[in-house]
Amino acid sequence: MAALDARMTDPEPTIQMSSPSATSPADAPPRVYAVVPAHNRRDKTLRFCENFSRLTYPNRTVVVVDDGSRDGTSDAIRDAFPEVEIVVGDGSLWWSGGTNLGVRHALGRGADYILTINDDCVMEPGFLDELVRVAQSDPRYIVGCRLHCEDRPQEVWSLGTRVVCRGGELFALNHAGRRWEDCRGELPDPLPVDTMPGNGVLLPRAVFERVGFYDERNMPQYHADSDLVLRARDAGFIPVIALRSVLYNHILEKPLVDNRRDLIFSRKSDRYWRAIWTTLRRHGPPGRRCYLMLRQYSPFFLNGRVSRWVKRAARRLFERRAVSAPATERGYNPTCAAGPAQHG
């Protein structure tokens, strides 16, 4: 059913997908295409290209999907990094549509693996070597990395995520807020997870050929990354985190939208109603999906004394069987800026 959903929401690629073996010698390292959506962030995108050029993994290519930038992003990349491949959008793609366009381009060029990544991150030199090493140990692996906070490099932002679907939260960021030195000895490598944010994720081409693409219609900006990994897991792929692959993540300081109407109806919002409902419909607990949908938005409208009593009663009724998240995890609360927020 998940694969059927993917085909219904995102048509099959129209490009001709070439075989990886047709473009790379049999003994060559796997061919990795990094897909980077970009929109009016020329300096950040150039910094990313510079950082990516320092990686030690040899068989790699960057595809920047410039979605209608007006700040000269494409021209600046061509001048400074002529080896970077550029795909141009019309300004309406958002993250999911831009990533899909780049993935189709890469698959048509014979990519063995797709690396989805944002242009505002910083990678350690061996970042991609470790992702590929783990991916090659099992063809079913979808491999994420250790995400740290860029401004607090010793602090973990996420080691993948787990589905919680409790109250106003959809996912929990594993080990968020902990120092890496305090948790490194506790964890297997690679670390099995439910799913993961889409920044620094290595996916075998088979995921897109068997499962489909990111759901750009229902999830244009948020949650499509987690959704694709969950759909792939249902199809037999295994999400893991390569603990020796490190990426430093830029954390938003404030939400992209900050008023009630836009939080619900804007595609910029991580509470965009179609993305939330699609996530709950596909991955939420049966019997509680409508309640959890309402809980996403009740804080915007129910804030008085009576409404607080109603919410407490509803939590007792619908959430009494929910398992509390471990103290080592923090939830991702979609009302807040991107990043960890303490369970409560």
81 by DSSP, 3-state: which? coil
Tokens of 131: 């992702």
Residue 290 lies in a domain: no
Residue 317 lies in a domain: no
Can you give the CATH number for the domain in which 99 is found? Answer: 3.90.550.10
Digitized pLDDT (tens) for each residue of the chain, 344 residues in all: 333 333 334 444 333 333 444 445 667 899 999 999 999 999 999 999 999 999 999 999 999 999 999 999 999 999 999 999 999 999 999 999 999 999 999 999 999 999 999 999 999 999 999 999 999 999 999 999 999 999 999 999 999 999 999 888 999 999 999 999 999 899 999 999 999 999 999 999 999 999 999 999 999 999 999 999 999 999 999 999 999 999 999 877 666 777 888 889 999 899 999 999 999 999 999 999 999 999 888 877 766 554 566 556 666 665 544 444 444 444 434 433 333 333 32
pTM metric for this prediction: 0.83
- Using CA atoms, how far apart are residues 195 and 316, in angstroms rounded to an integer? 28
Residue 164 lies in a domain: yes
User: Which residues span the domain enclosing 139?
Assistant: 2-249
The alpha helices in the chain, defined as continuous H runs, are 2-9, 20-23, 42-53, 73-80, 94-108, 127-136, 180-183, 205-210, 224-234, 260-265, 273-283, 289-301, 305-318
Residue 184 lies in a domain: yes
Phi, psi of 165 (to 5 degrees): 45, 60
Residue 298 lies in a domain: no
Say what the pLDDT of residue 304 is: 56
Residue 262 lies in a domain: no
Q: Domain tally for the chain?
A: 1
CA dihedral sign, ordered 30, 241, 7, 68: negative
Tokens of 179: 């120092």
